[in-house]
Every structure is written in C-alpha cells, then in structure tokens.
Amino acid sequence: MLGKKVSGRGKVIKKKQELKFLALLSDITERKRQEERYKSLYEFERLISLISIDFINVLNKNLDDLIDQTLKKIGQFVNAARCSLFIFSEDSSMMTNTNEWCIDPSDSQIDILQNIPSEKFGYYLKLLKEKKGVIVNHINDIPSEAIGEREWVKKYGFRSSMFVPMTYKNNLFGTLGFYGEINVEREWSKDIINLLRLLANIFVNSIVRKRTEQKLKESEEIFRNIVESIPLGLHMFEIDSAEKLIFTGSNSTADKILNLNNKQFIGKTIEEAFPPLKETDIPDRLREAAFKGEPSKWEQVTYEDEKIKGAFEVHAFQTSPRKVVSTFTDITERLEAEKKIKESEEKYRSLFENMTVGFAYHKIIVDENNIPIDYQFLEANPAFEKLTGLNTNEIIGKPVTEVLPGIENDPVDWISKYGRVALTGIPITFESYAEPLDQWYSVLSYSPKKGYFAVTFTNITDRKKSVQNLRKSEEKYRLITENANDLIAVLNEKFEYEFINENVYQNILGYGIEDLIGKVNLELIHPEDRKQTTIALSRILRKGKGSHQLRTEAKNGTYKWLEVTAKNFYDSKGRKKILTISRDITDRKIIENSLQKSEQKNRNIVNSIPLGMHMYQVNSEGNLIFIGANSTADKMFNVDNRKFIGKTIEKAFPPIKDTDIPDSFLDAALTGKSSTWDQITYEDEKVKGAYEVHAFQTSPGNMVASFADITERLEIERNLRESEEKFRTIADQSFMGIGIIQEDKIIYANEAISKILEYSLDEIMPWTKSSIVLNMIHPEDLQMLREQRKRRRIDNPNLKPNISYRIITKSGAIKWIDQYLKVIIYHGKEAELISIIDITEKKHAEEIILQENLKLMELNKMREDLIIRVSHELRTPLTSIYGASQILLNHHKKELNKNVLNLVEISHRGGIRLKKLIENLIDTSKLKWEKLILNRKNEDLGAIVDECVEEMMLLAQNRNIIINTDLNNKIFLKVDKLRLEQVITNILSNAIKNTPSLGKIYISIIETKNKVGINIKDTGIGITLEEKKLLFEKFGKIERYGMDLGVDIEGAGLGLFISKEIVELHGGQIIIKSEGRNKGTEVIIELSK
C-alpha cells in the first residue's frame, strides 16, 4: 500500500470481552490520478478558450506578438523547456521557425532554424502529414531510420519532445513543437496533445486570415494601379432608380485622351454628358450591358462636339448589376496612317520604276555551315539594267555565279561581302569603277530582313573628278504603332508573373493562372524576340515605363503578335513591380504586312538614296501641285518641305517662275517626257545653291524631280584652280627647294631647288628616283635614307616628318640639307611633295656649339670636384679649431679675461657657421650623386619636434622670440630621425633668424587621412614673390644687406635646398606660404603616411 492513496472507514466491535477495530480500506490511487488529470485538462481547456478569444480580436499587426505570448503560456503550463512554431512551404519541402519561446532566452535558436529542408526530418514529416503527431518520451522512441531526428536530439540534448501537426485545407501547414528539459526524460500526455491540436487550429486560422487580408490589400492596390496606369480611357456608369444611365467617374487616361477633366460629367446622364451619342445605339447598348451583362464592342465610333473630336475603338462590359464600364482608345492617328499607307503604295512603286538610281534586290544562298556561297537576283529596276548592262528579264531568279561566271574567284569577294550584309544586317557603302563605261558609282548595300540584301547604284563620276565624296544617309522607316491593349499582368523584378486578368489570357492565349503565376515564361516569347524583350523589360525597370512589340506562343502552338505597354510601380511593401498591358495585334500585323511589304521596301529605297526628291501632281485646273518630298530633300535644303504641300510649283519656289522648269515639269507629268539640267542656280530667303536636276513621270499626271546639290563640287573645282595657282606662285618665290615626284618622275621643281643642287631645271626634270640617288645623295647617308623610306612604307607613327642628310652638288661641294616629305593627291593621283632647305651653315654652327658644351661640362665637373675636395680638406682643421674654442668656453671661461673671451666667442661662432657650411656642401654633393641614404624607422614625430625646439630654444631666447607648440597627439611615422631633425632645425633656425625681436613662432602637427603636416609659422618679415623663386635653389640665399629689417642675414643658401631634397626622399614636400613683406611665413613639411 506504500506510495498509494486510499480511503477507509472503521468500526469498534466487542468480541469475547475484547475490543477490536474493524477497518475497511479501498485503493483510490487511480481515482485521484483521474481527478488530477481532469482538473489539469479543465484548466488547459479554459486557458485555450481564453487564448481563442484573444485571437478572435487580435489585429494582424499584433499577431506575431500574441503567438509569442501564447507559446509562453502553453509552454509554462505543460512544463516545456522550449516551444516552437514551424511553418512549411507550400510543397512541404522547406520549414521555417517563425515563433519561439524558451525558459532561457539566451538559448534561442530561431535565427538558425530558417529555411531548413524538411527531408532532414523525414520521419517526423511523414507522421505529421498523416496527422498523427509525434511523441518522444525517450531517445529510444526514435526509430533508427530517423537519422536527422536522432542527430538533432544528440546535438541539442533534448531527450523528450512532441510535435502537433497544423493543417489547412487537408494539407500540412506547419507544426507546434514542445521540448522537455535538456537531458531529462518525461512522459507527454496524449490528452494535452489533443488539446494542443485545438491551439494549432487557432494558429492556422489566424495566420491564414492575416495572409488573406494582406493578399486582398495587395490585390486592391494592384487593381487601383491598373485602373490609373492602363493606357485605355475608362468611363463608369450606373443605372439610377429612374432607370437613367448616370456618369459616375473615369480614370486619368480618359482625361488625357479627351484632353479635358471628366469630373465635370459626374452625376449627369450619358446623353447630357456626351450629346452626340444621343442619336446612336451606344446609350441603349450600355444599359443592356448594365442590366444583362452582355458586353459590346464598337470598332470605330466617330465623335465630335465643342471639346472632343476623333475616332475611337470602344468596349463596354458589366462590372456589377446595374453598373457598366466603357473602355476606349483614340484610333484617329491609326486610321489616318492606314489611309496614307494605301495612298503611298502606288506612288512609291512609280518612284522605284522611274528613279535614276540603280536598284537590285537579292537573296543570299548559304551552305550547311551558314557560309555564303552564292546569291540570287529577285528584283531590279530599269536604272540598274542601264547602269550594269544586265538584262533584268534574263537575270531575275538566277544565281550570280550563273549570271556572272567566275565572280566567286574575284579578289573583291562579292559573295562574302554581300553575305555579311544579309546575315548580320550591317550595311556597307563603297565606291566602284566601271572601266567599260569610264564611270564611277557609289554602291550602298543593306539588308531589309535577314538573309536578303539590296544594292543601289548612283553615278558619282563628277564628284570623283572634283575629289570630294558625297555622304549618304539612310533612315529606317518606323512602323505605325497603336496604344491599344487587352492583356493585363503584374510582374516582379525577376519578371515572374504575379497577376493576370485570367479571362482575357484564356480567350487570347489559352493560358490560366496555373500556367503563368510565379513563373517567368520567357520561353513563350518567339526566339527572335526574346533578347530584345529582355532588354526592353530591363530598360522599363530602370526608366519607369516603355513599350514593345513581340510574338508570344499561345497554348495551341500558334504565335500571337502583342503590343505591350509597361510601367513601374511599388506595392505596399516598397517592392518594385511592372504593370504590363498588352493588346493582340495579330490581325493588324497581317494587314499591315500585306499593305506595307512593297511600300516598306520602296520607302527605304527612296529615303536611302543620296538624291533629293520633289513629287508633283497636276490638279483639275492644269496646275502642277507640290505633294511631297523625301528626307534627303529636307537635309539638302535644310528646310521641312512639308510646308510646300498643296502649293503650286511657282508659289513653292518663286525664283524658278521665269525659267523653263515649270513647263518642263508639267510636260513630264502629262506626256512622260523626261528632262535633265546639268546645273540650275537657285536662291531665295532660305535656299541657295547649284543643283543637277532630273524630271520624269511616275504615273499619268504625276512626276518627280530628283536633284543633287553640286554647290560644293563647283566651289571645290574653283578652289582647286585657285589653290594650284597660289601653290605655283608661292613655290616659285620660295627660298625652299620644292619638288613633286609622281610615278617615279619629277613633274615639278622650283628655282630654289635648282640653286641648292647647282643643276638647271632642264637637267633636273628628266630625273627619276634612281637618278636622284646617283646624282646627289652622299654615299655615307644612302643606307640611312633607304631605312627611312622602308619605315615610311610600313606607316610608322613615330617617324619624324623631316630628315637631314648630305648631298653632293654639281660642283662637287658637300651640303647638308633638311628634307620634308609628304604624300599628297596631285591631279587625282598619289604623289610625293618634297621640300629641302640648305642647312650647311647651321650644321657647322651646331658642331661649334657641341664642342663648347663639352668644354663647359668639363669645367662644371671640375668645380663640383673642387667643392667636394675643399669641403673634406677643411673639415679636419675646422674640427680642431671648433673643438678647441668649445673647450675654452665650456671649461676655461673663468680663466679668460674679457677681451680674450670675446675673441674666443667670435672664433667659436665662426667655427659653427663654417662647420654648418661644410656639412651642407657635403650633403649637397651626396644629393647630386644620389649617395644620401635614409635610415627610416618608426618614430614619434612630436618627440622629434620637441627635441628640435629644445635645441633652438637658446637661439630664440637670445633674440627674444617666443615659440609655442601644439603637439598633443602621438603620431608615429617611418622617417630618418637625424635627417628629419636636420630639416626641422634648419626651417626653425630660418624662422628665428627672419623674425624680429619680440616675435612669435607657432609649431603644430596636423594629421589627415593620408598625410601628416609639420607646420612652422612665424610673425617675421615674410617672403615676396620674387624671393620665393630663390628659396629652394642651390646657393639661393636671399640678400638683405642694408634693408634694416632687424634679422640675421648670415648663411650660404644651402639649407632649404638640402631640406627640400631630404623631404622628397621621404616621399613628401615642403610648402611655403606668405602674403608678402612683414606678414609672416608658414612652412609646411608634408609627409605621406
């Protein structure tokens, strides 16, 4: 019965005169245990009930704090050492510890339990997915196959634990974990686990509610951004109680499209807001959409009132019962563009057939390695046939190797050259000479699309004769685009879909949310469009907005053309998003391609040729009306030719009114008779120049005038004539010898060259290069000249333009000449312009100067050697004199009478100065021969400055000068202490000497990030600009005799020179500042760290 609880009752009985006690005992241990169990369960149920009330009322922002508080309460109730909340990823592959409580806060592990692979605890995960929960009372309860769980227990010492599954929609959402004390075993009650399942449900519902509310908030924000960012106008209407359609609002795009504030219509009926709609079916169909939900679409609605005018594409759909929205885009420009495209087709076809520029269109042929091996003629105009002599009827459809046999062996390699154009899209321009016709042509080759190339020919013979190239310009024709979109999506910075309007995506592309959300899906974009699409999206992220056209693969495998407009925005958490609105333009693309296929090709041709073009049409009154021009004409005239459209030729260009041009143009338009003008001079307020003009008919009643600006060519021809006359005048009068060699012959020589060479011009003119070598080059210089010419042939950039060498004149005299050679174009061919100068006297003078310089250098070396020798010879006797005077002053001063003492002091001071001079001379010599070597160690700069100040203090006191120092911080630097002391002492000595009595000297050390500066500033006599120039010169002593400045003027002028060199050896510099006479001086010794 020991250790058990019992209940009992007793009774005293008398038997045979004896009293006995009868006791009845019953074991109630189990009953008491059950009572305690139910009491504990009741308390736990009560605690969970209170917790559930807290979670019903909690705000989302306080949810994490409430979970932490709840874990603490539950943990303390069940005597756990630690409680943790883990949330699983959607596929249960990862788990994260989001909330935690532990008895010892320092034992927290939440930071390391983030994004843990769930497979690490595969055994527990399996039980939790089966909603069984996990109870571990002892480490031996963990089966051997649970490797990760056993490692976890051993690592952290948890002998007992239990985990309660958290589920949502029958899927594992997370788990509640409870751990016993470290290294302590315990029994976990299954009753507690069942109650903890209720707590798990409370947690799940609260977390899901928080996530749902956050998603709703983000969704609402996305839709608000969509409505305001969408490039569609939105009008919102509602059926009121009187069954009237009332305008209730719009988006900002509607204001921009209609160019007014739509708020003025709010509260009005649709007929009051937009009166012209009253006579259409639009109000009734909008009502029908509001009542029945039937959407409506109008391909084109033409609208005009006092404020609005245009054509619009309109869609209407129900948003909720009795509410309807109409979306609209302005298609006015698109309709106008389509009209112009259709009108221009015939015009550009006529231009193509009648233009004077040759044109041919080809398809490149490649082998299995995509290497060009041939090309096929597809199309050519009559001008091409005329310029090349090839019959277009015979070559169309044939490869060039058949049309022109042997072209594959041409050194120019035409097939490869045009192949690069067709395959890379990079155009080329070159010039070609047609020998049979004796004509030059400018050739332009470009690729309208991959695998194809076009070639245009222009006759440039006149321009080649003028030695001036015309520049071509090519403009790419831009396709007309529309800002009409249907597909709406939101992407994150990784380009992953986060939102789509699913119905539209399914209708157009066949994709739903499960196909796109959370995915990048760049593989759906046509391979040819992917690179540009990625670039466009990146540019939108940077710049905030943009648009792009691309092809996207639908679910059925077909490709759809989309026109995409995109814009950046930030969500509530500050994350950057991309809003894209895309419209299916596949049908429009098909129409545009069919309309523009030949128009695009012809437009490119016309805008690419280097000729201006004016187009005219005969009106019903028989007048010639200007109807258009190409871009080259705008550039050539430097005006926008569109301003002439609709005018007669005489009003557009008044100066030609009195010429035969209007009649000739009219004749070309009516009869087809072509006309050409080699030169027309034209001038008005804006246009001035000379032009070559060709007029021809494009279709009955229509004609084109093509023209080229020859103003520059005429000016060049005139300048060339004048330039040649000036050259001959200058050359004939020049003292320089001037000659021109072309094709190995002398074709020009002036009188000066005849005088220098002592040959007559009649003797010189027949010379070739070989005869020049034989007749005049000195044999010793011949090899040098040949090497110079060889280097010039390889275009050596370092080659000097001139060369000096010797010649032998006709009389046998040897002359030095300086020759300048330049390659020029003379009469259309390459030539050498040679200029020579007789420099014989200059060479003789240079030799004399060179000899004198050598003598001066020898004298300078002798002077340097003498200074060094004298310095060393003086040092020994000076040491004796200086030492003797120092002993007399230090030890025998009292024994000397006043006169003798005075003489000894004079001798000692003279010895000090002479000793300093000799040391400076020796240092100067070491610096010159780079023998001054630094012994650098890590030193305290403040201590060095203190020692220097202490050494100079007596001199300062003798002159009544106060020295203030600011050396608070210890600054260590690698320096040669003795040499740095020499520098500081020298500069401090100069400051004392150049500061009058009662002056002050300030010394400080200033440290910056990369440098340390020792500043010595005095209140002395200062330095003028002229004196600054002498400061660092050798023997650059500033003389101040007779200036009565009250300063010490002794010194040899070597101190600052030596100081500067020492500081520079340390990698520093000395900076001297002074505002002028009597304004003090500041010297900064700046050292690098």
Residue 898's CB is within 10 A of a number of other CB atoms, namely 7
What pLDDT, on the 0 to 100 scale, is given for residue 469?
41
* Residue ranges of domains in the chain: 32-215, 230-330, 348-465, 487-584, 611-710, 734-832, 839-932, 933-1088
**pLDDT for residue 468:** 41
| Residue 1089 reports pLDDT greater than 60 | yes
> Residue written as tokens 């009005």?
268
The pLDDT value recorded for residue 475 is 35
CATH 3.30.450.20 holds for 230-330: yes
pLDDT over 80 (residue 838): yes
User: Bigger pLDDT: 17 or 690?
Assistant: 690
- Whole-prediction pTM: 0.30
Which pLDDT value is given to residue 566? 87
Least confident of 9-13, 534-538, 815-819, 1004-1008: 9-13
Burial 1024-1039 (b: 16+ CB within 10 A, else e): eeebeeebeeeebbbe
* pLDDT per residue as tens digits for the range 576-614: 888 888 888 887 777 666 655 555 555 666 666 778 889
Tell me the H-state helices in 931-976.
941-958
pLDDT(477) > 50: no
Q: What is the DSSP string of 162-216?
A: EEEEEEETTEEEEEEEEE-SBT---PPPHHHHHHHHHHHHHHHHHHHHHHHHHHH
Asked whether the domain spanning 487-584 has the same topology as the one spanning 230-330, the reply is: yes
* CATH, domain 611-710, list 3.40.50.1000, 3.30.450.20, 1.10.132.10, 3.40.50.10540: 3.30.450.20
Q: Could you confirm whether domain 933-1088 is CATH 3.30.565.10?
A: yes
Q: Looking at the predicted structure, is the pLDDT value of residue 162 above 70? A: yes
Q: Convert the pLDDT of each residue in 283-309 to its tens digit.
A: 999 999 999 988 999 989 999 998 899
Name the token pair of 391: 């019959």
- To the nearest 10 degrees (0 to 180), the angle between helices 122-129 and 147-156 is 110
DSSP class per residue in 562-601: EEEEEEEEE-TTS-EEEEEEEEE-HHHHHHHHHHHHHHHH
Band of pLDDT at residue 1057, cut at 50, 70 and 90: confident
State percent of the chain over pLDDT 70.
Answer: 82
Q: Which residue has the higher pLDDT, 1038 or 80?
A: 80
Q: Read off the pLDDT of residues 965-1017 as tens digits, 9 standing for 90 and up.
A: 998 778 999 999 988 988 999 999 999 999 999 999 999 999 998 999 999 99
Half-sphere exposure of 422 (CA within 13 A, CB side): 24
Q: What mean pLDDT is predicted for residues 52-79?
A: 81
- Do the Cβ atoms of 99 and 111 come closer than 8 Å? no
For residues 521-545, average pLDDT: 83
Class in CATH terms, 734-832:
alpha beta
Q: Is the pLDDT of residue 1 over 60?
A: no
Q: How does pLDDT run across 483-509, given as a tens digit for each residue?
A: 335 788 888 888 888 888 888 888 888
- Tell me which of 241-245, 513-517, 864-868, 892-896 is least confident: 864-868
Structure confidence at residue 1069 as a pLDDT band (50, 70, 90)? very high
In the prediction, which pLDDT does 247 show? 96
pLDDT of residue 18: 67
Query: Residues 980, 1043: contact at Cβ < 8 Å?
Result: no
Residue of 128, 139, 135, 134 whose CA lies nearest to 187: 135
364-388 average pLDDT score? 88
Provide Rg for the chain, Cα atoms. Answer: 52
Taking only the tens place, the pLDDT of each residue in 19-31 is: 666 565 556 566 6
CATH code for the structural domain at 32-215:
3.30.450.40
pLDDT of residue 484: 39
Q: In the CATH scheme, what is the code of domain 487-584?
A: 3.30.450.20
- High-pLDDT (> 90) share of the chain, %: 20
Question: Which architecture does CATH list for 839-932?
Answer: Orthogonal Bundle (1.10)
Q: Could you tell me the pLDDT band of residue 17, with boundaries at 50, 70 and 90?
A: low
Q: Which CATH class is domain 348-465?
A: alpha beta
Q: What pLDDT score does 436 carry?
A: 44
Alpha-carbon dihedral sign for residues 732, 737, 743, 747: positive
Neighbouring-strand partners of residue 578? 491, 568
- Residue 443 binned pLDDT confidence (cut-offs 50, 70, 90): confident
